[in-house]
C-alpha cells in the first residue's frame, strides 16, 4: 500500500512541476511580440526550460541510484538542484517583470501595448505555488525509518553479548 501511494504521490509532484513549466511556456507564447523594444520572454523561457530539463536530470539521478554509482548520484543531484533553483528564480523574475508590464510595455503615448485576456500575475503566482509545492512536498514525505541499533560497531554503549556478571558503571 505504501509503495502504491508513494508512486501516486510522486506522479502528482511530477504533474505539478510539468504544469508549472507549461504555464511558463504559455506565458512566453502569450507575450510574444507584445512589448517592442524590450525582451520580456527571457525569464519565462528560462524558467520553463529549466523545469522541463529537471525531468531529464531527475531520471539521470534515478538511473544512477539504480546502478549505485555514487559519483553519478551526487553529480545528478547537484545539477538537478541547480537547474530547479534557476527555474524557480526565473519564475520569480517573470513575476517581477509581470508587475512592471504596465510601465515598460507602452507605446509613445503611454498606452499599454499588451493585448492578452490572461491574468499574467495570477498565472505567475500559480506557477510559483506549484513549484513550491513540487519542491517542498517530497522533502516533507516521511521516509522508512532505519534501525540505528542494528549495528553495534562503533557504539560503545551497546553490548554484543548479554553478560549479567558485568558490574554497572559507578562514578565517584
Question: What local confidence, expressed as pLDDT, does residue 144 receive?
Answer: 64
7-142 CATH, one of 1.10.287, 3.30.70, 2.30.30, 1.20.120? 1.20.120
Sequence spans of domains, the chain: 7-142
Give the pLDDT score at 29. 92
Residue 102 has what pLDDT? 86
- The predicted pLDDT at position 76 comes to 92
Does residue 80 contact residue 70 with C-beta atoms inside 8 Å?
Answer: no
Q: What is the pLDDT of residue 33?
A: 83
Distance CA 17, CA 23 (A): 10
pLDDT at 149: 47
Residue ranges of the chain with per-residue pLDDT less than 50: 146-152
CA separation for the pair 10, 4 (Å, rounded): 10
pLDDT for position 160: 52
112 burial (CB, 10 Å; 0-12 / 13-18 / 19+) is middle
Q: What is the pLDDT of residue 72?
A: 92
Amino acid at each position: 500500500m505504501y509503495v502504491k501511494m508513494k508512486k501516486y504521490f510522486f506522479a502528482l509532484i511530477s504533474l505539478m512541476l510539468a504544469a508549472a513549466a507549461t504555464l511558463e511556456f504559455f506565458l512566453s507564447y502569450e507575450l510574444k511580440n507584445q512589448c517592442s523594444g524590450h525582451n520580456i520572454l527571457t525569464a519565462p523561457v528560462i524558467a520553463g526550460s529549466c523545469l522541463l530539463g529537471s525531468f531529464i536530470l531527475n531520471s539521470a539521478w534515478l538511473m544512477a541510484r539504480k546502478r549505485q554509482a555514487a559519483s553519478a548520484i551526487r553529480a545528478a543531484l547537484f545539477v538537478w538542484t541547480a537547474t530547479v533553483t534557476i527555474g524557480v528564480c526565473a519564475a520569480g523574475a517573470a513575476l517581477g517583470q509581470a508587475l512592471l508590464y504596465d510601465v515598460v510595455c507602452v507605446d509613445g503615448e503611454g498606452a499599454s501595448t499588451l493585448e492578452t485576456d490572461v491574468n499574467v500575475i495570477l498565472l505567475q503566482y500559480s506557477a510559483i505555488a506549484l513549484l513550491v509545492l513540487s519542491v517542498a512536498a517530497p522533502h516533507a514525505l516521511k521516509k522508512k525509518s532505519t534501525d540505528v541499533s542494528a549495528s553495534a560497531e562503533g557504539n560503545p554503549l551497546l553490548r554484543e553479548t548479554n553478560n549479567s556478571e558485568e558490574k554497572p558503571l559507578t562514578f565517584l
